[in-house]
Structure 1
């Protein structure tokens, strides 16, 4: 993994929004150890719960990053800023007329979409201080992965890391933040210790379960093995899980989280593993993996360079795989090589349809048809045309040279941020780009620090960005 070396300061601020006047409901409850589950008629029901314009990372289960039916994008202006009690690493969700944000202080907020005022908040526990961890770049470590909303039961699911190194899945009522589901989802496997696990990828929902994936801390300290766990939406019943079949590491850490294919299978990527010599047996790391809903490996791809990738920290798992038009899968990792794959049959080691050096990519790509927007760490966002049928990879354009965030698409524009990897509040920018050329139509300075792999959500002509001390809303999107 070893994604970042810089310690971020997750700024703890007094809870406040730029606009007030909306009464806030505050719930302060330390999570009890007992399992809490939905009662009869809970999960999966058809109750009158609000629809969501942005219910999960990338807007939808396929993680395309596309917001449909938005007004045409235009000039950008600041709308409101909500200063919360910690950093917001995940994409804000937009559910009904509220924005849902989760902080590294283990607090989930509902904010007024129009003003940013706090509607309700629920503090779920005490996060883990960086000083108690062997390594890492987030302080404190609380809720990092983007939550997910299920309209079927009206719950927002989030995984909080709490004192004692517990990773706890919560399901909160979107109406008032009340806890309806609570369950510890740490998996006891050889080579794992919860103090070394980090739940960075976005959560996913499918087949009656919520899925959470895990990697290690920045710096790859201690013993861990990447894994994904599936929990019934009700919170009760057996878990399903899969771990990278290596003896150490093999993190699942790309921020976009599991990608759901048209058949309901889950697509993830894994990082560096134990095997570092091509003469050794392949250990399942450095790969694209297709999993059934029960988390059984159905197919995989690994580059022929997997051993060198493992030995030199060039893991493929720094982004999630993208599913494009025409049974096309595509991924770029730290090595900077884009691999074009046949989604109908990944073929194992070295069976890419084509490859091309493009850029080192970190975060989550967006995809519209056969065009993939990759979050390059240098040289700016890359728009790439891909076709499995034609075995073709073609770079269409590169965005602003400093754009390094994870893109989304909506309102006839491509959106991407520049964030300072050092966590500074200066120089951070939101860009609105022409999708045909990558030219900058409009841009706006963001007067707040943005987290690593910064991304945003779109809804109703507004962009919502998580920051190192809350959420910023921008008009014109």
Structure 2
């Protein structure tokens, strides 16, 4: 049986994107015709999540399980925008079980219908006024697996008809990997209705007997104090205004995390259609199978007194320090322009749009005694580019790419981090001192003089993904009409230097994050998706100018339609890729 598991997005909590235990694939044997497509498994919707690999799983009989499937298997888990979760045999492509989150009857221990809906379907693109994910929206953020409890955590988004009214619902589920059933009652994150729904025949159809004037009602435990977009007067009678979680507008795009018995989930928007905010929620799941179940322990909002500032990172993730509590994320566009700062150098309106943010637990707060951005979690450092107002106006999200924590080093700045956004600048940080906001200069390690400002140089044609790190080298593919590059950090930690680049100079728009496979520090292969040609490419990690293989070399190896931000998974001698309607697997033929 294969032994390597891939249980989280980009392989680890630092988001390095590296599998250093790949003993079967190397630059000598990844070549046509001895390496190619092994099988394709059709699925019922687009796969925006990264496939996850869990070996040695005992599949049990149940309402979701296919005949003949019970027994020991290596499993690849795939989620779709049709609100389905598949457990597929990683070695032959057979579907072991399929869980749909659309069944209103709650068969077995499938807990879908907690609100007594008469119909549950995926959210349509027109429901959120955006075609960024189309034609339907279901599961978008990559799930995470807990090996200790054999549970997979996932957030489906659904449209539910309840007493004739359309509700938009998001829940967090804990799924048994053995049979796809729920291990606990799912947590209702939000249930939103406006009684105004869009359809193909009219711009807005409002039901006059409920929610006068299409007023939005959010049934949710998730709120923070603030007067930002969509805020209402606190129903609890505090006299304050609150910002609530809007299950229709919030897009659970980025990947889930599981660290120190806590599940973390974050949100952005559908096509910048408000009201929306950047949210991070945390749950303690140490007793998930017991009486406690999901215990909400933290709520953080990036824009409580304004709007936007979503956390999407092109499908990326929160990245964590080794202590398992301190984490970082990058946010997207906002409004309000350059901030006014308080005496501690923080924005007076506590809005963190287009920012890199450092967060720690805040046990001094709770839902009734909040800090400026929420409770249970607290922002302790941040970085915001000097030209934040221009980024906001031009839709140039700083947070279009996900951050990457680099291993500790012995230089002047032992704790480094990189990230980048739509401008194509790559920012190198000392994560002990992120830099805050300066209206003239960016206080980061690799800033150079540019137009009278100190700011990082443009080094890639838009960073709309998370870089990978292997053998002291950073690998990144452009998100728009440019090459993939390999970089090293110079000895003074003041610049990133290009060491190689691909011959291909256009991988299409939004090709997704780079993955590296290797056996320790040898045999490195860089895997890159290509949306222009609907292919996957393999490059020698020592020189991106050397292409080893691609899925277009032999007709039978065709990949099919690649969705944006697709991320391949490489493990145990095989490469797993989700497409618009299937899981495609490559290996030695």
Fold in common (TM above 0.5) = yes
Deviation digits for residues 360-390 of structure 1, max 9, x if unmatched?
0112221225322223122121222235853
Which of 351, 356, 362 is the matching residue for 2:464?
362
C-alpha distance 133-180 of structure 1, shift in aligned 2 (>3 A): same
2:423 counterpart of 1:335 = yes
Query: Is the 1:127–1:161 contact (alpha carbons within 8 Å) kept by the matching residues of 2?
Result: yes
The total of aligned residue pairs comes to 421
SS at match of 1:61: coil
Match of 2:44 among 81, 85, 91: 85
Distance 1:414 1:277, change over 3 A: same
Q: Rg bigger for which structure?
A: 2
Moved over 6 A (4+): none
2:331 corresponds to which of 264, 267, 270: 270
Q: TM-score, normalised by structure 2?
A: 0.68
Task: Give the whole-Å Cα distance in 2 for the aligned partners of 1:309 and 1:243.
Answer: 20
The normalised TM-score by structure 1 is: 0.84
Find 1:394's aligned residue among 487, 494, 497: 497
Distance 2:297 2:101 in 1: 22
Q: Deviations over 1:18-51 (max 9, x none)?
A: xxxxxxxxxxxxxxxxxxxxxxxxxxxxxxxx97
Alignment of 1:88-237 (within 5 A): 88-96=47-55, 97-125=74-102, 126-138=121-133, 139-163=135-159, 164-181=167-184, 182-186=186-190, 187-189=222-224, 190=231, 193-218=246-271, 220-233=272-285, 234=288, 235-237=293-295
Q: Which moved more, 1:69-78 or 1:170-179?
A: 69-78
**Partner residue, 1:20:** none
Corresponding residue for 2:386? 304
Instruction: Choose from 235, 240, 250 the match for 2:298.
Output: 240
| Unaligned stretches of 5+ residues in structure 1 | 1-49, 421-426
Query: 1: distance between equivalents of 2:337 and 2:176?
Result: 46
Query: Please, which runs of 5 or more residues in structure 2 have no aligned partner?
Result: 56-73, 103-120, 160-166, 191-221, 225-230, 232-242, 342-346, 362-375, 410-414, 447-455, 519-523, 553-557
Q: Over the residues paired in the alignment, what is the CA RMSD in angstroms?
A: 2.0
* Matching of residue 353 in structure 1 with residue 445 in structure 2: yes
Could you give the per-residue CA deviations for residues 329-377 of structure 1, whole angstroms, max 9, x where no partner exists?
1111001111111012112122111122112011222122532222312
Matched, 1:53 2:48: no
